[in-house]
Structure 1
Amino acid sequence: MKSLFTGVTALAATGFLLAGAAGAHAADDNWYDQSALLTSCQQNVDGLGKADRCRFEPAKREVFTGAARQVGSTVHACSTKVGVGRQTTESRTEEDSISVSAGVEAGLSKIFSASIQTSYGHSWSYSTSETEEVNGEVPPYSIGLVTLAPAYQRVTGRMVINYPKRRHGHYEWYAYPTLTQYDPDEMQFSTATVDSRPMTANERKSMCNGQGGTANPPAASHVVIHLARPGYRQGAELSAKPKN
């Protein structure tokens, strides 16, 4: 997984979301951006100070299947089939559409987690590793590997940020992060497969001491151990940009 807040997803909303002339003034300040707003929830930011209260309002949660990748090492089977049970560990550290410094990651995650748990009754954990076991078999005289397309969850919403004094005419400002995280609690939305191909003559010679030279070569195969259920979503996109 990528590290926290690497910016893999487009912003749910862009620009500086203000009412009236205050928006024009804020847009002239290149430090006044979504990242600065989120950072001010945890520490002082030039021109902003530190927010006295931040709360996350989730709008939509999606569960989906991520891209497949190999787990464990490639194995070879000689005269008998070989099991390819593998344990794979995934990080639950989330990725965010708005980049912030490493120093504020954990604090923001606590804010996100509490709101997501309350809104959807679903856990959201910061920097926690989970281990899943994938089991399959590689046929005789074949080379195979296991792939896993894990389940993910994505949450969009807004962070409501309050300051003790007005900032460019307003006490309250908004940031719109999109959060994405590996989700071991939803493994029914993951797909695990075993892919194998027959060994070449040279591979049989080098890997199996020349065994099986006259045996019929096995066919290449793609065996689905577990097929993901279709994803789903809860909630909806934010209907409009709020006015503050």
Structure 2
Amino acid sequence: MNTFAHRVVAIAIAALTGTTIAIAAPGTASANHEGQPTTRELLDLCNQGRTDSCDFRPSGGISVFNGPRQLAGSSTNCTNFNQTRVIRYEASQGTSHSFGVDFSAGSKIGKSFEWSIQTSYRREWTWNDTTSDELRQDVGPRSRVLIYASKVRSRVSGTYELHFGNRYKGHYYWYVNGQVEGQTRGQPWDLASEQVRVSC
């Protein structure tokens, strides 16, 4: 078992809580007399470049799931006859997380996350994904067609390891764990249509 794995076992990191965990590097004092920093405080220091390193280490594999349906387009036929309509649709999905700080493609913790996903899973993280096109649909009399889109998404849990050149609040190393939801490149969109009666 590698050194990081030993540390994780030793401090019993609780998954998905977003809690910060104090751990001292070998040969340093284990007591923290200066108070424990918050998750936001630690990751803000990383984003500001005030840590020697700030590496994301995923735990387990990528969990793939179907995202929620969102209304992407619609067309209403208020006549008494069937009609064929060309319906334009568009839907977007972004990235969400449990860290409570700036977590984007341009932030330091975002770049660390991207690099980790690529090296650990050989996949490219996509911060935002949009689908748009046109569908030809038959719309019944006094009816409305609704176009729904849902994205196949990815969930990753893991821990940021922050190293300070000088002790920060008693320790050289701090750990922050959390969860990220978004998508890797190539994950598809699913489309579905539904026809409902309307009063025109």
Counterpart position of 2:158: 157
Distance 1:167 1:43, change over 3 A: same
Q: Does residue 192 of the first structure (1) align with residue 191 of the second (2)?
A: yes
CA shift, 1:180, in A, is: 1.0
Question: Given residue 80 of structure 1, which amino acid in structure 2 is its aligned partner?
Answer: N
Change (3 A) 1:157 1:103: closer
What's the counterpart of residue 88 of structure 1? Answer: 90
- For structure 2, the 5+ residue unaligned runs are 1-13
- The residue aligned with 2:22 is 18
Q: CA 1:148 to 1:23, structure 2 compared with 1: closer, same or farther past 3 Å?
A: farther
Indicate the SS of the match to 1:177: strand
Mark the structure with the bigger radius of gyration.
1
For 1:66-125, what per-residue CA distance to the aligned partner results, in whole angstroms no more than 9, with x for missing partners? 111110244326423323543424244x21101114799633211111110111111113
TM-score, normalised on structure 2? 0.74
For structure 1, the residue ranges without an aligned partner over 5 or more in a row are 1-9, 45-49, 204-244
Query: Whose strand proportion is higher, 1 or 2?
Result: 2
Is residue 174 from structure 1 mapped to residue 175 from structure 2 by the alignment? yes
Tell me if structure 2 keeps the 8 A contact 1:96–1:180.
yes
Name 1:56's counterpart in structure 2.
56
Q: Secondary structure at the match of 2:162?
A: strand
Q: Given that residues 62 and 156 in structure 2 are in contact (C-alpha distance below 8 angstroms), is that contact kept between their aligned partners in structure 1? A: yes
Counterpart contact for 2:145–2:196, Cα < 8 Å: yes
Kept in 1, the 8 Å contact 2:20–2:177? The answer is no
Q: Which has the higher contact order (CA 8 A, sep 6+)?
A: 2
- What is the alpha-carbon distance in structure 2 between the residues aligned to residue 136 and residue 35 of structure 1? 48
How far, CA to CA, are the matches of 2:116 and 2:102 in structure 1? 22
Letter in 2 for 1:18: A
**Length, aligned pairs only:** 180
Distance 2:84 2:175 in 1: 55
Indicate how the Cα distance of structure 1 residues 65 and 164 shifts in structure 2: closer, same or farther if over 3 A, else same.
same
Tell me how large the CA RMSD over aligned residues is. 3.0
What TM-score, normalized to structure 1? 0.62
**CA distance in 1 between partners of 2:17 and 2:73 (Å):** 39
State the alpha-carbon separation in 1 of the partners of residues 20 and 194 from structure 2: 49
